[in-house]
Structures are given as structure tokens and as C-alpha cells.
Homo-oligomer: A and B are copies of this chain.
Amino acid sequence: MLGNIVIGQSGGPTAVINCSVAGVYAEAKKLGAPKVFGMVHGIEGFLEDKLCDLDNYLADPMGLELLKRTPSAFLGSCRYKMPAIEGHEDVYEKVIAIMEKHDIEVMFYIGGNDSMDTVKMLSDFAAEKGKKQRFIGVPKTIDNDLPVTDHCPGYGSAAKYIATSLKEIIRDNESFGAAKPTVCVVEIMGRHAGWLTAAAALAKGDDCSGADAIYLPETVFDMDAFMEKVEHLAKTKRSVVIAVSEGVKLADGTFVCEAGAGAAAVDAFGHKQLSGCAAILSRMIAEKTGLKTRAIEFSTLQRAASHIASATDAEDAFQSGRDAAKAAADGKTGVMVILKRLQSDPYLCGTDIYDIHEIANVERHVPVEWITEDGCGLTEDFIAYASPLIQGEVPQIYVNGTPRHLIMKELAEF
């Protein structure tokens, strides 16, 4: 049995973050929760008592289905970082007071590293002060950089978007038959961990030659070796498509994108120019080789393209939420749900719960042994790990030509 609960979302959204809301809601209702509240704009809104009653949207099963197909944070997100407990007890007391006011037993917080830190501090505070309120984390991040869990809900859909879009870009680039190839540099999110960029390796298959080189932030970016690689590719191939992480760094630790903006680059309007690393690298290639180049950034679409979400990812996100509710009913607090892969082929995944102290603020990187020796490719071990996560599609509900989303009216009002 479960009393009233509240669900919040925090940080950069994903294509399936709302599947976790759906999972918590559906299971909590099964477990008898009288009220399931949503925080409007995460803990930041919660501190201002901004709540909504999720029954208004999700009691109807059609609402729940639409929610699973809605990208971005349905409840609204925030980038609010809880202050250290010491010296800011009032903020923590306020959270507890608002929970007491609405008779809320458990708070579920869906997010990445920072959000798990919030869960940790809130549960630590409650334990320390002998409060009965409980706090449970539900993982979410396209970056896939949370430790302990096999993978993070949100990653699979972003990876599917990246693999599919890259495949389409490669087709486009290959279609031109000029003697000199066009070099296309595609920039992928992930400043510190290369999981998303690594997903470029999933474009390869019987019907696609794949990305010609993939550069992760886990290895030092050597500009000379890069240019040499590109020149070699351009001599031997009709089409060259390269994937780079936004976070690639030179040996001295400078981000390639920062290096490019370092000098006082000012445009005709007198504004400082800031470019992404794909733009910088494609300009360098054009100048050095005379080849036609193109820079593409997947940008926000990587985390928002629910129209091509992975069904496996959506299911993992849903069961993470569902099992968080079960853990709450078991009296747990200060834990995060983790995904435990039981087998890869065929893929089978369950969940477990894990002490939040082991998770918060720890970043997981792509293992170096999954990067090929030349530093610009991924091994079969990575493919075996990531490929199951992009399988399956979530049929969208199209209305008037675009996928239908569920909207929370309180978002605009608050």
C-alpha cells in the first residue's frame, strides 16, 4: 500500500522521460496511492508549492498512452541545484513542510547526476532529522553516464535517432558522384562521456557503410592525426562522414570548440563568434584540402525526437518508474532504480534498487577497451551492448500529420 506521492522531472529531457512518469503513476495507483501529484518544473517549482493532480491527465488510459509518446518533460523540468544541507536547513525543511501539507509519503525524482544528488541530500536530511518522508530516484539521461545501472532510460532513443539520422545523412552524402567527395562532420552531444557519439557506430549494416570515423571525448583528440585520417579517407572514398563528440579535447585539455572561439572572432555586427566543434573542424578540412565540407549538429533533436523513440528504451523507462513505485511500497528511501541486463541476445532486462550514495555525482565513461586501437571506432563489444537498446519502435498517434503530444495546462499558467 502506498499513500500520496509526488513525481518530479529534472535536467535535460529525453524522448522517453515521460514513460517513467507513466510507470510510477500506473503502479502507484495499483498500489492504492490516493493522490499522485506532479511537481511543476521539478524541485524548483515544488519549493513554491506548484503541484498538479495527475489524475486529471492520466486516469484516462488514453492519457497514459499519449504521455508515453510525448517528448520532453511533461511536468516541466528545472536546472535547480539543492544547496548544501549545512547552513540551508530551511530549504530542506520547506520541502518536508510542503510534503506534509499534502500528506505526501514519497517523492520520486526522475533525472541524471544532479537530480540523484538532490535525492541523496533530501533522503540524508530526512534520515538525520528523523522525518518519515521518503525519496526515490529514477534514472534518466540521454548521456548514459550514470554508474551502476547497465544503461540509462533515454539513451536508447537518442542512440536510435543518431543511428537513423546518420544513416540518412550518409545516403545523402553518397548520392553525389563528383570526383572529389564531400566531407560531412556530424557533431553529437555528450561533453564528458562519449556514449551518444559512440551510437554513430550503430548506423553501419548490410545497407550502410557507416560513419568513417568516430571521435569520443574519452580519448585525446590529435588534430594532426585527424587531418591525416580525413585526407586518407578523401583519397579512397566517394563520401566521407565523420562523427565527433561536442566534448572532444586536445592534449592540453582544451575543448576543440573552445579553441575555435578563443581568438577574438567577431562578425560584421560586432558580435563574438562561437562555433561548435563540427563547424570548426569542417572549416579546417575545407581550408586544408579544398574539399567541400558540411557541418551538422543534431542538437536538441537528439533528446526530443520521440517520433523515432526506441520501444526497448520506452519499456525500460516505464519499468524503471514502475519498480520505483514498488520499492516505495516496500518502504525504501535513498535509493535509485537501476537497470540490470539479464542477457543481450535476446535482450532481457530487469531492475534492482541501489544506494543513492554510490550513484550521485559519479560519471561513467565508455570503457577504453571498447574504442578501437586507432582511436576512431568502436569494437563489437560496444555494438553488442548498445544495439539491443535501439530495437523496436513506438507507434505514434498522428493527428493532422504530426505526432500528438499530451500537454499539461499548468505549465504555461505557473
A residues in contact (CB < 8 Å) with B? 9, 13, 40-42, 44-45, 70-73, 76-79, 160, 163-165, 167-169, 171-178, 184, 202-203, 205-208, 238, 259-263, 265-269, 271-275, 279-280, 283-284, 287, 294, 296-297, 299-301, 303-308, 310, 387, 390-393, 396, 398-407, 411-412, 414
User: Once the chains bind, are B283 and A72 in contact (CB under 8 Å)?
Assistant: no
Docked complex Cα distance between A399 and B404 (Å): 26
Docked complex Cα distance between A305 and B307 (Å): 12
In order of increasing CB-CB distance, the 6 nearest A-B pairs are A41-B177, A390-B401, A262-B268, A72-B171, A168-B304, A73-B175
User: Once the chains bind, are B405 and A387 in contact (CB under 8 Å)?
Assistant: no
User: Once the chains bind, are B79 and A176 in contact (CB under 8 Å)?
Assistant: yes
- Chain B residues near A178: list those with CB within 8 A: 78-79
Given A77-B177, A171-B71, A177-B414, verify A207-B406 contact (CB < 8 Å): yes
Further 12 A-B residue pairs, CB within 8 A, beyond A205-B400, A238-B411: A41-B176, A42-B177, A167-B405, A168-B306, A169-B304, A206-B399, A238-B412, A262-B267, A262-B268, A267-B275, A274-B283, A393-B396
Given A205-B402, A401-B160, verify A411-B167 contact (CB < 8 Å): no
A-B contact pairs, 12 of them (CB 8 A): A72-B172, A76-B175, A160-B402, A171-B304, A172-B304, A206-B399, A208-B402, A208-B407, A265-B265, A297-B299, A393-B396, A393-B398
Docked complex Cα distance between A392 and B76 (Å): 30
Docked complex Cα distance between A77 and B176 (Å): 5
Q: Interface majority SS on A: helix, strand, loop or mixed?
A: mixed
Docked complex Cα distance between A301 and B268 (Å): 29
A172 to chain B, nearest CB (A): 4
**Cβ-neighbour of A269 out of B71, B167, B260, B307 (below 8 A):** B260
User: Once the chains bind, are B72 and A175 in contact (CB under 8 Å)?
Assistant: yes
Given A401-B202, A405-B167, verify A308-B310 contact (CB < 8 Å): no
- Chain B residues near A401: list those with CB within 8 A: 160, 163, 202, 310, 387, 390-392
Given A71-B172, A265-B273, A274-B283, verify A300-B307 contact (CB < 8 Å): no
Residue from the set A45, A171, A262 with the largest chain B CB neighbour count within 10 Å: A171
Docked complex Cα distance between A297 and B294 (Å): 12
Q: Please, which residue of chain B has its CB at the minimum distance from the CB of A50?
A: B177
User: Once the chains bind, are B299 and A294 in contact (CB under 8 Å)?
Assistant: yes
A167 to chain B, nearest CB (A): 6
- Chain B residues near A163: list those with CB within 8 A: 401-402
- Chain B residues near A77: list those with CB within 8 A: 175-177
- Chain B residues near A265: list those with CB within 8 A: 265-267, 273
User: Once the chains bind, are B283 and A272 in contact (CB under 8 Å)?
Assistant: yes
A96 to chain B, nearest CB (A): 22
A89 to chain B, nearest CB (A): 25
A151 to chain B, nearest CB (A): 14
- Chain B residues near A304: list those with CB within 8 A: 168-169, 171-172
**Cβ-neighbour of A268 out of B206, B261, B272 (below 8 A):** B261
Docked complex Cα distance between A393 and B404 (Å): 14
Docked complex Cα distance between A287 and B266 (Å): 13
- Chain B residues near A261: list those with CB within 8 A: 267-268
